[in-house]
Amino acid sequence: MAQLPDPRPQANAEVLAEMERMAGVRSDSDGRAELASVYVAMFNNPGLARCVGALGEHLRFAGTLPDHIRETAILRYAAANAFAYEWAHHVRPARLAGIADEIIAALAGPAVPAGLDPVQRAAVEAVDDVVAGREIATEVQRTLADAVGNAGVVELVGLCGLYALMGYMTTAFAIDVEPGLPGWPARRP
């Protein structure tokens, strides 16, 4: 029994209001009025859902990384870990950030996509380092720090941590991608 029950029928007014607020904050970037299923499931523990939601809001909507760098990093992290749910939820924000469809698709492959600007390339290489469990290469970190500061470099690694947590939730509790979201482009070898 991996799937969690829908917590809404037993939720109090405060929890329901927080779920509605979180859905509203994410609606423009997500293109949907409903709260993502992963967050609904997390509301089986409202305190955790609030904390994870607050971190996500900070990183996505109040962070220091430019949108195209943030979404490049998220898609690369999702692809590297075969987190189809997170991939599906970040194709639209990536497009809104100006990332071309061919770059989005190429982020799912094993190579660093051609056509990235130097900072995007460094973001992909940094994510690849994090996923491989190694320190970020000096030149990659320097390129990122020159463009987005040390705060941006820390934020990029924080994104990896957040989306690891989200990916583990969707995997552990068999949370499917909601209808109408983009499908998985390819698996990395």
Taking only the tens place, the pLDDT of each residue in 52-76 is: 999 999 999 999 999 999 999 999 9
Q: In 3D, which of 75, 81, 90, 74 has the Cα closest to residue 31?
A: 90
Better-scored residue on pLDDT, 39 or 189: 39
pLDDT category at 153 given cuts 50, 70, 90 is very high
The number of beta carbons lying within 10 Å of the beta carbon of residue 63 is 19
| Structure tokens given for 16 | 């329901």
Taking only the tens place, the pLDDT of each residue in 111-131 is: 999 999 999 999 999 999 999
Domains (range + CATH), the chain: 8-61 (no CATH), 67-172 (1.20.1290.10)
Mean pLDDT of 140-161: 98
Taking only the tens place, the pLDDT of each residue in 156-167 is: 999 999 999 999
Contact 140, 126 (CB under 8 A): yes
Contact 152, 68 (CB under 8 A): no
pLDDT, residue 75, reads: 98
pLDDT, residue 189, reads: 41
Predicted structure pTM score: 0.94
